[in-house]
Chains A and B, each alone.
Chain A
Amino acid sequence: MTLLWLILIPFIGGLLSWQAERWGEQIPRWIALLTMVLVMVLTLGLWWTRDFNLPGDTATWALEWQRAWIPRFGISIHLALDGLSLVLIALTGFLGVLAVLCSWREINRRIGFFHLNLLWILGGVVGVFLAIDLFLFFLFWEMMLVPMFFLIALWGHSGSAGRTRIRAAIKFFIYTQASGLMMLVAILGLVFAHQAQTGSYSFSYEALLGTELSEPLANILMLGFFVAFAVKLPVVPFHGWLPDAHAQAPTAGSVDLAGILLKTAAYGLLRFALPFFPEASQNFAPVAMALGVVGVFYGAILACGQNDIKRLIAYTSISHMGFVLIGIYAGTPLALQGVIVLMVAHAFSAAALFILSGQLYERLHTRDMRKMGGLWGRLGSLPAFSLCFVAASLGLPGTANFVGEFMVLFGSFPVAPVMVVIACGGLVLAAVYSLFLMQRVHFGPPEDDSRLGGLDKREFAMMLFTLALVFWVGLYPQPLLDTTESVTNAVSVVFNETPSDRVAELAGGGR
């Protein structure tokens, strides 16, 4: 039941804070904050009380909950939790708190409805991380787009001409929905293949895992999943929605997008795409890794050329997600663990940078870096925090990002040395765009000598806490690694064993 509550709490909290607007402006905010704190506390409680460091290479769920739903197609409400989903849900809870806090002063219109959307996104994301019935997974996957759409369309910022927030929101929705339908087709293909073998419909993760597919079919289905996740991650040819959506979204929306929504894609690859189609993925790995390398460079180079601070951060996300993609398709345990650390680290650093740029916007009413400069000394501690998070984003040792990137590259090297060597070049570019950002915003000649408002207690606490987490994971990532070890091992085993099995099979005269 705890798992069901993890999903329901944000949904109920959202409805409550929507209705609570009539009793006062601050009440929805407090309800939303309490809701997310509750989710976080519940998750951390689970972390504390359950043992996720399970022995063996087989994936077992630490917690499971199942009820029949649509028996006609073997669909059930099946939720399960393991180390991977736990980490990501904890992250969702934390970023949810941040998102509520950072919109405390930014959002002044229709506060209740804003928090309804915000909490429903988070509820949908938690659902994605918990659902292991494919129908349910798809439901949450698509459902979370709707509140995100409203968040961007109604509370977003309109950029320059032709880049309105509504256009950005619609673009975001169409990209993700269309790719999602491809995943639905792939899911159905898998289900029908399974039905052809066993005679019964099932959308259950465990039942479908063992489906034997012919090679061409497996390739096509794998691509269906991959495209859906690639759009969300985003992988380079499918990234068109991301810069617009980020730039136009309100701060809380950007925090959710960069912090969690992108992670659902990586989660999907780890949870579904690789285990369902290990061979097809193995064959596809070089292409995927190449796309990852392209993403690393493309994101970094375009980041250098941006004037809009949020677009810059958005492009750095593409670059970082390139590393994630490389790590996932390298498939070694070390690389997969690195992927998880990198996801967590990126969630912290990108969310913090987006919050900082939101705070800058509140003070300067612009996101154009050409109109900034020389802010160091005029803004209290904000520039110092920026420096720390920029350093984290470029992967300075001691920060979580360093651990993640290092593990990804180190773990991928034995599998694809050339790719890794090339991708390392991206780290240099990361330093370039990060320093660009600092230089153009905070250093250089000031426009004006007047002091702007410094950080208040709420803003200061948010930043300090996030920074502490960045350093904690950077200096002592072991708890994180322990929690996810069994999951990554299991994925890695499935992903890597198959070819040799096939060889053995062929040698033994099978097929």
Chain B
Amino acid sequence: MQTFNDVFALMPLMLVGATAVAIMVGIAWRRQHGATAIVTAVGLNLALLSLGWLSLLGIPGTAYFVLDGLTYMASVLILVSALACVTLAHDYLGGYSGAREEFYLLLLCAVGGGLALSASQHLATLFFALELMSMPLYGMLAYTYRDQRSLEAGLKYLILSAAGTAFLLFGMALLYAQSGRLDFEGLVTSMTSRGSLWTLAGVGLILVGLGFKLSIVPFHLWTPDVYEGGPGPAITFLATASKVAVFVVILRLILAAPAFQSGALEQVLVVLAFVSMLAGNLLALLQSNLKRLLGYSSIAHFGYLMVALVVGEGLAVETAGVYLISYLLTNLGAFGVVTLVSSPYKGEDAAALHHYRGLFWRRPYLAAVLTVSLLSLAGIPFTVGFIGKFYVIALGVEAAQWWLVVGVILGSAIGLFYYLRVMVTLYLVEPGMRRRDAVDAWGWHPSGLVVVGVVMLVVVLGIYPTPMIDWMHWVAAASR
């Protein structure tokens, strides 16, 4: 019986993996872009359904993968964002002359990695899942490799990610040397009983490694270039699903080990969070490329999210969940519009701000979608971004982390400047410059529907957040 449960617990992962295999076989047989995208979407939807079924069964998980509230939340978010990426990719790759179908293969592998990462409670699975998620991302980022920037993005991410991984492995080795255990539970007990300098160093190195993936200052240097160069759908996945998965695993580590909450490590986290908030926003100020700008803004957003890591109790899990949802939806909206404007693929993405000048007067609804996304990123009321920011500030106030509260306020004030700058650009009267534009009737393309749907969700959850809050309340309760 135990074994059956183990199999069930891996159901979403297996479904995603099976879809990947099916697609690989399909490619070998005959290339068919539309069918590949549909099969991918079906597979992801099945995985999503199996999650619901699992939560009804109430299986605790296996020794390597835990099935708790956090896992469910992260898995749903990853799958939803992957679905959005598939849809965006279908329209985007429509104009790509090279092989198109492999993109979905890579995407599915990365999704599998993300699902495993968010559920891992063992350093071995953590490492394996992280790599499973990162490796396909190199390929996805460099997918349009004839475009130099895309290739550069892929290589840059590869090198810096490998460096991050090295730190991570070294940290794990140190922890293992100290405790002889690799599962979180065993690590925690050994950490609390004998907290030595080596343990601290190990934990620190693990944080560095994961911090690379989250692009927390000072490990953020790859972010703007990779965001700028990578193709739209790949960046959308990188910015949303992969970050959610990594953040959840850090959160799980910190929740498991109360050692994080005291002493030097907490101070380090506070400083990192504060610096990320400010540096991310300051560096974004003068960007003239929307993708770079969103990259810097994501640094700042993970700075805000780190408030939940610093506090690590009370409302922390709920805050992290709400903020992740708001971050995910908002970024899907924003990157979705960028991808849509650049679809179908015609070389480098249309991400420079002048491409968006006067968008409102050509494509009012598309511009409205981007406006709402930007407002939500800035945390303006009646968008889900405000609910997220509300939670973060509430958490900071409750835990009396005044520096972080100050950081959030300062960061938001600075952030407004560039969000507003972009927003105004959308509404300015267009000059006669050459521009790229979304296809006509974009709203009836699948990706158009996805973007509109996501943004409607941003507004609806901003006005009536109760379902989201209730769900996160449940997640927080089910994560203990």
Contact = CB atoms under 8 A, between A and B. Distances in A.
B409 interface: yes
B413 A181 contact: yes
Contacts of A142: 380-381, 386
Interface stretch (B36-44, B109-117, B132-140, B466-474): B466-474
A2 B325 CA distance: 35
Contact of A71 (B405, B417, B466): B466
A139 B397 contact: no
A169 B428 CA distance: 14
B395 to A, nearest CB: 9
Given A110-B361, A142-B386, A170-B416, 9 more contacts: A70-B466, A142-B380, A153-B424, A166-B421, A166-B424, A169-B424, A173-B420, A174-B416, A177-B380
Nearest to A70: B466
Interface string B78-112: 00000000000000000000000000000000000
B442 interface: no
Contacts of B413: 174, 177-178, 181
A107 to B, nearest CB: 14
A181 B416 contact: no
A430 B285 CA distance: 41
Contact of B416 (A139, A166, A177): A177
A149 B381 contact: no
B382 A139 contact: yes
Contact of A72 (B375, B408, B470): B470
A188 B397 contact: yes
Contacts of A71: 466
B78 to A, nearest CB: 25
A146 interface: yes
Contact of B427 (A72, A140, A150, A178): A150
B382 A143 contact: yes
Contacts of B424: 153-154, 166, 169-170
Given A170-B420, A177-B416, A185 B409 contact: yes
27 contacts: A69-B464, A70-B465, A70-B466, A72-B466, A143-B382, A145-B380, A153-B420, A153-B424, A166-B421, A166-B424, A170-B416, A170-B420, A170-B421, A174-B413, A174-B416, A177-B380, A178-B409, A178-B412, A178-B416, A181-B408, A181-B412, A181-B413, A184-B390, A185-B405, A189-B397, A192-B394, A192-B397
Contacts of A169: 420, 424
A123 to B, nearest CB: 12
Contacts of B428: 154
A384 B475 CA distance: 68
A145 to B, nearest CB: 8
From A71, A169, A177, name the one whose CB has the most chain B CB atoms within 10 angstroms. Answer: A177
A471 interface: no
Contacts of A177: 380, 412-413, 416
Given A185-B405, A188-B394, A146 B416 contact: no
B393 interface: yes
A182 interface: yes
B185 interface: no
A138 interface: yes
B321 to A, nearest CB: 13
Interface string A164-192: 00100110011001100110110011001
A240 B424 CA distance: 21
Contacts of B416: 170, 173-174, 177-178
- Chain A contact surface mostly: helix
Contacts of A184: 390, 393
Interface in B165-182: none
A185 B421 CA distance: 26
Contacts of A173: 416, 420
Nearest to A220: B402
Contacts of A192: 394, 397-398
B304 to A, nearest CB: 12
Contacts of B421: 166, 170
A138 B421 CA distance: 24
A154 B367 CA distance: 15
Nearest to B387: A70
Contacts of B420: 149, 153, 169-170, 173
Contact of A146 (B380, B397, B464, B469): B380
Contacts of A72: 466, 469-470, 473
A493 B361 CA distance: 54
Given A72-B470, A170-B417, A153 B427 contact: yes
Contacts of B405: 185
Contacts of A143: 380-382
B427 A188 contact: no
A69 B469 CA distance: 11
A139 B381 contact: yes
From A138, A173, A181, name the one whose CB has the most chain B CB atoms within 10 angstroms. Answer: A181
Interface string B388-430: 0010011001100000010011101100110011001001100
Interface string B262-306: 000000000000000000000000000000000000000000000
A185 B393 contact: yes
Contacts of B473: 72
From A70, A71, A150, name the one whose CB has the most chain B CB atoms within 10 angstroms. Answer: A70
A153 B398 CA distance: 37
Contact of B397 (A70, A150, A185): A185
Contacts of B398: 188, 192
A71 B394 CA distance: 16
Contacts of B412: 177-178, 181
Contacts of A70: 465-466, 469
A142 B412 CA distance: 13
A188 B398 CA distance: 8
Contacts of A139: 381-382, 386
Contact of B409 (A138, A166, A182): A182
B145 to A, nearest CB: 39
A475 to B, nearest CB: 42
A149 B417 CA distance: 12
B399 to A, nearest CB: 10
Contacts of A188: 393-394, 397-398
A166 B410 CA distance: 21
Interface string A41-81: 00000000000000000000000000001111000000000
Interface in A15-50: none
Interface string A353-388: 000000000000000000000000000000000000
A141 B432 CA distance: 38
A139 B385 CA distance: 12
Nearest to A154: B427
A146 B380 CA distance: 8
A177 B427 CA distance: 21
A59 to B, nearest CB: 26
Nearest to B395: A188
Contacts of A138: 381
